[in-house]
Amino acid sequence: MLDGIDLDVPAGTVFSLLGPNGAGKTTTVNVLTTLVKADGGTVRVAGHDLATEPREVRAVIGVTGQFAAVDDLLTGEENLRLMADLHHLRADEGKRVVTSLLERFDLAESAQKMAATYSGGMRRKLDLAMTLVTRPQIIFLDEPTAGLDPRSRRTMWDIVRELVAGGVTVFLTTQYLEEADQLADRIAVLDQGHLVAEGTPDELKRQVPGGHVRLRFSSVAALDAAARVLNGSTVDDTALTLQVPGDAGVKSVRALLDRLDEHSIDVEEFSVHKPDLDDVFLALTGNASTEAIAQ
Amino acid sequence: MSTISAPLTDSRIMLRRNLKHILRNPVTIFNGTLMPVVLMLLLVYVFGNAFNVGERYIEYATPGLILLAIAYGLSATAVSVSSDMTKGIINRFKVMNVSRGAVLTGHVVATMLGSSVAIAAIIGMAFALGFRSPATLLDWLGAIGIAAATAFATAWLTVGLGMAAKTPESAGLTVVPLLLLPFVSSAIVPAAKMGQGIRQFAEYQPFTPIIESLRGLLAGTPSGGYAAAALAWCAGIALVGYLWARATFSKRA
Are residue A256 and residue A132 in the same domain, yes or no? Answer: no
For residues A236 and B102, the model is more confident at B102
In whole angstroms, what is the distance from residue A258 CA to residue A243 CA?
A: 17
Which residues, numbered 88 to 147 in chain A, qualify as contacts with chain B under a Cβ-Cβ cut-off of 8 Å?
A: 88, 114, 130-131, 134
CATH code (residue A83):
3.40.50.300
Residue A245 and residue A254 in contact, taking contact as beta carbons nearer than 8 Å: no
* Number of domains present in the structure of chain A: 2
Strand partners, A63: A140
Within this chain, do residues A137 and A192 fall inside the same structural domain, yes or no? yes
Question: Could you tell me if B250 lies within 8 Å of chain A, comparing CB atoms?
Answer: no
Are A126 and A68 spatial neighbours (Cβ–Cβ below 8 Å)? yes
Integer distance in angstroms from the first to the last C-alpha of chain B?
A: 25
H or E, element range at A243? strand A241-245
pLDDT for residue A276 is more than 70: no
The CA angle B28-B30-B33, to the nearest 5 degrees, is: 100
Contact B129, B58 (CB under 8 A): yes
Report chain B residues whose CB lies below 8 A from the CB of A55.
97
Domain with A259 in it? 212-274
A180 and A229, same domain (yes or no):
no
Return d(Cα A226, Cα A220) in angstroms, integer.
10
Question: Residue A55 and residue B97: Cβ atoms within 8 Å?
Answer: yes
Rounded to 5 degrees, φ, ψ at A161 are: -60, -40
Looking at the structure, do residues A166 and A216 belong to the same domain, yes or no?
Answer: no
Same domain? A120 vs A145? yes
Predicted complex: ipTM over 0.90:
no
Please indicate, yes or no, if residue A281 is contained in any of the structural domains. no
Confidence (pTM): 0.81
Q: Poorest-confidence range of A32-36, A78-82, B28-32?
A: B28-32
The mean-pLDDT minimum among A233-242, B98-107, B210-219 falls in A233-242
- What's A251's domain CATH number? 3.30.70
Residue ranges per structural domain of chain B: 6-251
- pLDDT at residue A226, as a whole number: 87
Q: Which of A35, A61, A73 to mutate to test the interface with B (most CBs of B within 10 A)?
A: A73
Candidate from A53-57, A134-138, A209-213, B73-77 with smallest mean pLDDT: A209-213
State whether A158 and A107 are in the same domain.
Answer: yes
- Quick one: A190 and A134 in the same domain? yes
Exposure b/e, A78-112, CB count within 10 A at least 16 = b: bbbbbbbbbbbbeeeebeebbeebbeebebeebbe
- Structural contact between residues B65 and B129, judged by C-beta atoms closer than 8 angstroms: no
User: Residues A168-193: pLDDT tens digits?
Assistant: 999 999 988 888 888 999 999 888 88
Cα dist from A240 to A154, A219, A273, B100, whole Å: 36, 7, 17, 65
- pLDDT of A285: 66
